Amino acid sequence: MNYVLSLLVTVFLCVALSGCSSDGLEDLRDFVKNAYADRKPKVEPMPEIKMQETFIYNSVNLSDPFASLNLKPQGSKSASGPRPDPNRRKEPLEEYPLDSLKMVGTLMRGKQVWAVIQAPDGTVHRAQVGDHMGQNSGMINKIIEEKIDLIELIQGSMGDWVEREASVALVE
């Protein structure tokens, strides 16, 4: 029993003495405590709030932006412009987008000029002025050795049809 008591006292003394020891971090704790004690954080002032003028909407004097007159294209303008012919038979080069077609050369016989065009599937086609190509009803209006000039019909924002120039350059 005496042995157990002496062992217990020894353990108690070891625990008590370990609590008195330092971990060697006192100088770090002092630095952290005092390093920024005299500095104040810089806080920018709040931005000034600008007051907005009040506006009272009076619809009596203004037109209704949702009226059917404002939402539809106006009358004869859309009917008189160029439009694609829905009854025209589609040509083989109209199956592909214009940017996927490649001009690979030209053929000439007398005054007649043809453009040699390669489709994305690898097939080669011959086209002349007046033929159509591309998915926007593009009609060839000029063929020279370096490129093909076309006029495409695209639908505008108001539903009318607009002509747009496009070209396909020779691939080298």
Residue 2 counted as domain residue: no
Domain with residue 119: its CATH number is 2.30.30.830
Instruction: Name the percent of the chain lying above pLDDT 70.
Output: 90
Mean per-residue pLDDT, 11-39: 79
- With 0-12 / 13-18 / 19 or more C-beta atoms within 10 angstroms meaning exposed / middle / buried, residue 35 is exposed
In a domain, 61, yes or no: no
pLDDT digits (tens, 9 = 90+) for 70-101: 666 555 444 567 888 888 899 999 999 999 99
105 assigned to some structural domain: yes
Structure tokens belonging to residue 20: 């008195």
What is the number of structural domains in the chain?
1
- Global pTM value: 0.53
Confidence at residue 130, expressed as pLDDT on a 0 to 100 scale? 93
Check pLDDT > 50 for residue 67: yes
